[in-house]
Amino acid sequence: KIVREAAHFARALDAARSEAKAAFKNDAVYVERFVERPRHIEIQVAADHHGNVVHLGERECSVQRRYQKIIEEAPSPALTPERRAEIGGRVVTALKALGYQSLGTVELLMDEAGGLHFMEMNTRVQVEHPVTEMLVRRDLVRLQIMIARGEPLPFTQDDVHFEGHAIECRINAEDPVRFAPSPGTISAFHVPGGPGLRVDTHVTAGAVIPPNYDSLIAKVVVHDIDREHAIRRMQSALRELVVEGVQTNQSFHRRVLAHEEFRAGRYDTTLVPRIQCEA
């Protein structure tokens, strides 16, 4: 329930409690600030068992459909180097105070004024971790295993450098217009290749995509000297990608990458539904 006027709060709270009670047999609900047209920004961190914590920059995750990320990029076009250092420093201070150990991602919403609002922390490697790996040239999966073994971080914050720009497109087996699942058998599958390009996938020609599970079939990740070149490289990779037998969202990715708001870096979590309306 979204409440825009104080006079409507009590009624909305009662309604939310009633719905919670009916659905979960418990009428407890969260009350939190509603952020209109936010950007979804997450900070990648690594913390060992020896008190060392570093941040590996942010990922911009505002291109979403049904609250699920479909394109991630780093660095965020919304942050200056100074703001990145400030936010990263605050996150590191908080995790040191909590005694956190392992890899993790602190997820934030940024409002239109640049204010930050904490959402949650994911205490694991995320789907979009290759974006950070390509930007900082470090293997995050290996790093998490090292930390779990009790080894100290092999680098300090001063050793973390952000080089160029990286973008990831999640290729889902779904209708690119309505985002409805598209299960079936993949009859042909060709991944793009070349420098600055990475494709993570579990499928080959003949693979069966069932209707019961997540529709993600591949992650196409590119890296280049700057954002504009990375966008061009991704557009080329998506043109080369071939998936037959099921529908995918690769054509929708190309629409997003060509959209003026995305190209300008001035977008938020409302971009995808607005592109759908434009169609």
Residue 279 has pLDDT above 80, yes or no: no
**Continuous H helices in the chain:** 9-24, 81-98, 129-136, 140-148, 227-240, 250-258, 260-264, 271-278
Contacts 24+ apart (CB under 8 A), 104-109: 104/44, 104/45, 104/46, 104/47, 105/42, 105/43, 105/44, 105/45, 106/42, 106/43, 106/45, 107/40, 107/41, 107/42, 108/40, 108/41, 108/42, 108/43, 109/35, 109/38, 109/39, 109/40, 109/41
Mean pLDDT, residues 4-12 taken together? 95
Residue 185: other Cβ atoms inside 10 A: 12
How far apart CA 102 and CA 145 sit, in angstroms, is: 9
Residue 186: pLDDT band (50, 70, 90) is very high
120 and 27 both lie in a single domain: no
* % the chain with pLDDT above 70: 100
Mean pLDDT, residues 7-25 taken together? 96
Domain of residue 91: give its range: 39-278
Q: Is the pTM of this model over 0.75?
A: yes
44 and 22 both lie in a single domain: no
Strand partners, 39: 110
Contact 87, 16 (CB under 8 A): no
8 and 122 both lie in a single domain: no
49 and 168 both lie in a single domain: yes
* % the chain with pLDDT above 90: 96
For β-strands 188-190 and 165-172, DSSP reports them as unpaired
Residue 77 has pLDDT above 80, yes or no: yes
95 and 139 both lie in a single domain: yes
Peptide bond into 75 cis (omega under 30): yes
Mean pLDDT, residues 128-145 taken together? 98
77 and 168 both lie in a single domain: yes
117 and 251 both lie in a single domain: yes
pLDDT of residue 199: 98
24 and 143 both lie in a single domain: no
Residue 239: pLDDT band (50, 70, 90) is very high
Closest of 175, 240, 174, 250 to residue 209, by C-alpha: 174
Closest of 78, 65, 40, 74 to residue 252, by C-alpha: 65
Residue 254 has pLDDT above 80, yes or no: yes
| 17's tokens | 């409690």
Number of domains in the chain: 2
CATH number at 132 reads: 3.30.470.20
Give tens-digit pLDDT for 187-228: 999 999 999 999 999 999 999 999 998 899 999 999 999 999
**Which residues fall within 8 angstroms of residue 66, CB to CB, at 6 or more apart?**
179
183 and 214 both lie in a single domain: yes
Coil, strand, or helix at residue 251? Answer: helix
Catalytic residues: 124
Give tens-digit pLDDT for 19-73: 999 999 999 999 999 999 999 999 999 999 999 999 999 999 999 998 999 999 9
Strand partners, 73: 60, 167
Mean pLDDT, residues 155-183 taken together? 96
25 and 156 both lie in a single domain: no
Mean pLDDT, residues 103-123 taken together? 97
100 and 20 both lie in a single domain: no
136 and 7 both lie in a single domain: no
pLDDT of residue 278: 86
How far apart CA 63 and CA 73 sit, in angstroms, is: 10
Residue 83: other Cβ atoms inside 10 A: 15
Strand partners, 209: 184
